[in-house]
Amino acid sequence: GGREMRKHHDLKSQTKYFQQTEKGYKCFELRVNDRDFQVHETVTLQEVVGEVYTGRELGPYEICHVLSEHDGLSSGYCIIELEIKDEN
């Protein structure tokens, strides 16, 4: 069958967190769940300083897990786990 188009999210990422992801230390994002993130959707992280884009990007990554409605997680927030997509 044909592959349906999955939703893609461009997300702003402050330099501190962007660099942690870039170096491979961090594979998750804590986000306001205002986009109904779903497993298998893709994410590109766009580095920002304040609200200003630096032009640096990471990704695309595939969402492999979405954690929400969890003890200790504020209502309306989620943690999305990112998997580096194999481009080969």
Q: Band of the pLDDT at 5, cuts 50, 70, 90?
A: confident
pLDDT score of 11 more than 90: yes
For CA atoms 28, 48, 25, 74, give the dihedral sign.
Answer: negative
Sheet holding 42-49: strands in order across?
A: 8-14, 42-49, 52-68, 77-84, 28-32
pLDDT digits (tens, 9 = 90+) for 61-73: 999 999 999 999 9
Bigger pLDDT: 88 or 49? 49
